[in-house]
Structure 1
């Protein structure tokens, strides 16, 4: 057991629990409890929100698993991933930030349902897709948390998973998005600290000139620098397309738009995050990954590749700094996990329960159901994570691919194309989601390439169905005009 690291992490978690209790009191005493719980009162500025968004996007797979994933799958994969994310933030800032914030809604489900005239079918379909996609994403974060907890306690992965999952669930159930926002700012700062520390240490401990070190690592592992060695070119394209589209529709990320204090602030939040996130993803891959060659074959065989970054960091730092780094990694994992848990509970409690099952439910009832569902969903995903996926980044990219396939086309056309109607949206969502799941589960396609089939299919079917079915009412057209109003209107 690594006592120094464990003490630092325990102090960090105690602080989070205290903060959660404070925010729970604020949420319960607020007259706008639903907005407080799910959208932090819609008053977060762009600087704070961009740090929180960086933290929510920077998951356990990004910061802990990236080193092992890059070694196993190659630098081209991590590069396509990082560039895709940066493009995604820019696209979301240009295409969806202002309309979503102007809509006055607090979840992407609520926006889509309102835009497409309250279709009961969509009220069920959208939360179901979010539950499947976000649940897959959450499994990868649970695995990362379990591995880190196992590392500092010395206990088996299964016990590490149970411990960290219960901490995550307890915290989110206390204060909702307000608690998540406050701590995500701290977690975003720790994430940047981790990235800078590991990059500087990786450069400082170079055994030879950097270019020679990269070449040496590539000789040991030809996969590292060879384009198309591990995967088909379609995998790199698919990863890029998935992440370029994902920022606009992923519930736990797009919730940051709804927390912004106005539409312009929402756009700035996404723009501020663009370059920083690319640096955080790509820079460690080119400075730390070559050190994997020095771990030794026995270490690489006995430890999951998702643990290799921690094992490399041990060679650079003492116990105190390792404690801070472990806390930073857990912060990255927690920031994504708590946002995902909140997105999942909102999909069931806010969108499904209050939107379909019990439309007359009051604030207290919805919040109570949300807290209960946070525990139910969290524990269910924890149990599924006992047998985790092999590569975190590949797995949660696939989870995002499902949500992109279902939501990206209906969202963008619903904002920018006045012919987009309810029938078209239903057809587009179903065709995108079903084709992705069929391609993912039944066919041996290159990894992450399913999106290259499902996304164009969703667009074609929604476009054709919308043109051949009932036109939108004047009420819908007026609503669309409201999405694009200026901040002062």
Structure 2
């Protein structure tokens, strides 16, 4: 039995388990509502872990540890920003969005919600938001496929091209079969696997170096700046990393979890579970990269893989320090992170194409069975485009994620935040905010202005546009204001 055989067996068992869940969900999927939102039946635990797993993609086990390994603890500002942003999203948006979508024609998707909430008879909001979803999610999907390819490439010595397809096929299969229920149920398993890997791995790394004090001494000896939270940081750099937290308000794959909860009352418990999971996972990811500095400083003979690509640090540590069977389980956590997020993204893209474009414009009277099958084939279409985008072996996971995260955060974040909190917001305000946010991100990214992360100006300019255009517009209709007030009143009931 060669060294990769136990890992191969572990991977096949894991993927087989995910496909089995997909098949079970397929048997429970009776209509398009089930396929897209699971019939709004998720309890607190599944809502929390599914939101967390769909959020924390391959970058959690590859991009973030790699950034910490290469630059030191100063890169952990991103984890601080994400924690603050996620908590605010759970606190302010989650419960309100769950109630508001039900009051506004039982909206199944974000474009659906925008169209109903702002009484958009022209359907331009639906079209623009669907386009934003398709553009930025295809880039986001490509990041997940790159992460999966890196995993298979490193673990099984595949070529990048072969690894690209191997990493994508399992995710496509169970998303195609089971839709939202498959994605949510598998997310719960995957979230458990991710937290196990991220708690165990740094503990073993510290022990391998000789303990906590020895690890810190080695890291300090290599460069005292590795311990400096402000290493290479100015005010703009710190704000840029903290600004990642703004992205949470506009991520469709995370917001879909809130919309699918069985009740807004479940959100409170889900928030506590979700935030505890997130803090432990982020702390573990930071620790993997940070204490990995000490391990590879002491063992330079093992450092070839991370010298070539710092994002492989978790993979290399798992392979070197653990029994192949345990390493296979730990490396499955990367696959879990990739699959959980990629599947959600494929499903949201599918829903945008099916619910918001196909049904909205081509087949208004399409049957539920027809919509489910169109949704499945749209999953395949988006996946193939994402694979084409990911085909460049020079792609970096964190770079792709940061662009897509900013695009959604700026285009949708202010619209969602104001939309569930401000009764006076209008259709023109929403449209202006969406366009200004998306355009600002693209332009700012292209010109790299002031080295400031593009989500920050995008979010600010979009918010200003929403307020300005809403106040210049006439007030929403009495019916719209009544629906908003009724939803807010229900949200405030305990």
TM-score (norm 1): 0.92
2:204 aligned partner: 201
User: Does residue 322 of structure 2 align to residue 317 of structure 1?
Assistant: yes
Q: Distance in 2 between matches of 1:283 and 1:188?
A: 13
Distance 1:394 1:81 in 2: 14
Q: Is residue 470 of structure 1 aligned with residue 474 of structure 2?
A: yes
8 Å CA contact 2:251, 2:413 repeated in 1: no
Distance in 2 separating the partners of 1:450 and 1:338: 26
CA distance in 1: counterparts of 2:10 and 2:338, whole angstroms:
16
Whether the aligned pair in 1 keeps the contact of 2:195 and 2:280 (CA below 8 Å) is no
Residue aligned with 1:42, SS: coil
Are 1:278 and 2:276 matched, yes or no? Answer: no
Matched residue, 1:342: 347
CA distance in 2, matches of 1:271, 1:389: 39
Give the C-alpha shift of residue 215 in structure 1: 4.6
Cα distance, 1:388–1:236 mapped onto 2, change above 3 Å: farther
Measure the CA separation in 2 of the matches of 1:344 and 1:224: 40
What secondary structure is seen at the aligned counterpart in 1 of 2:88? helix
After TM superposition, the structure 1 stretch with the greater mean CA deviation from structure 2, 215-224 or 270-279, is: 215-224
Task: Tell me which of 151, 154, 167 is aligned to 2:154.
Answer: 151
User: What residue in structure 1 maps to residue 94 of structure 2?
Assistant: 97
Partner of 1:140: 143
Which residue matches 2:185?
A: 182
1:129 aligned to 119, 128, 132, which one?
132
SS at match of 1:361: coil
Deviation at 1:411, TM superposition (A): 1.5
Q: CA deviation at 1:211?
A: 4.3
Corresponding residue for 1:173? 176
Q: In structure 1, what is the Cα distance between the partners aligned to 2:407 and 2:438?
A: 6
For the residue of structure 2 that corresponds to 1:484, the secondary structure is helix
Instruction: Give the counterpart of 2:297 among 277, 293, 299.
Output: 293
**What corresponds to 2:370 in structure 1?**
365
Aligned mate of 2:408, from 377, 380, 403: 403
1:356–1:294 Cα change, 3 Å: farther
Indicate if the aligned counterparts of 2:199 and 2:280 stay in contact, CA closer than 8 A: no
Residues 295 and 387 (structure 1), Cα distance of their counterparts in 2 relative to 1, 3 Å cut: farther
Instruction: Give, in whole Å, the separation in 2 of the partners of 1:308 and 1:366.
Output: 42
Specify every segment of 5 or more residues in structure 2 that has no aligned partner in the other structure, as ranges.
none
Report the equivalent of 2:9: 7
Any idea what SS the aligned residue of 1:88 has? Answer: helix
Contact 1:100 1:483 in 2 (8 A): no
Residue aligning to 1:257: 258
Whole-angstrom CA distance in 2 between matches of 1:172 and 1:231: 41
In structure 1, distance between residues paired with 2:429 and 2:48: 34
8 Å Cα contact 2:306/2:313 also seen in 1? no
| CA distances 1:442-463 after superposition (whole Å, capped 9, x unpaired) | 335426x222212111111221
Tell me the matched-pair count.
Answer: 481
Distance in 1, matches of 2:232 and 2:137, equals 27
Q: Per-residue displacement from partner, 1:97-142 (whole Å, max 9, x unpaired)?
A: 1221112222222212211113411111101111122222221111
Cα distance between partner residues in 2 of 1:20 and 1:458 = 39
| 1:400-445 Cα distance to aligned partner (Å, 9 max, x none) | 1111111122222222222211111111111111111101013354
Q: Specify whether residues 457 and 154 from structure 1 end up closer, same or farther in structure 2 by C-alpha distance, changes over 3 A only.
A: same
Alignment of 1:440 with 2:445, yes or no, is: yes
Q: What residue number does 2:83 align with? A: 86
- Residue aligned with 2:42, SS: coil
CA–CA distance in structure 2, aligned partners of residues 177 and 379 of structure 1: 20
CA distance in 1, matches of 2:403, 2:283: 20
- Which of 49, 60, 69 lines up with 1:62 in the alignment? 60
Query: Aligned Cα RMSD in Å?
Result: 2.2
Distance 1:50 1:473 in 2: 35
Please say if residues 239 and 397 of structure 1, whose CA atoms lie closer than 8 Å, have aligned partners that are also in contact: no
- Whole-Å Cα distance in 2 between the matches of residues 388 and 398 of structure 1? 18
**Alpha-carbon distance in structure 1 between the residues aligned to 2:230 and 2:270:** 35
8 Å CA contact 2:433, 2:463 repeated in 1:
yes
SS in 2 for 1:65: helix
Calculate the TM-score normalised by the size of structure 2.
Answer: 0.91
Cross-structure match for 2:36? 38
Partner of 1:44: helix, strand, or coil? coil
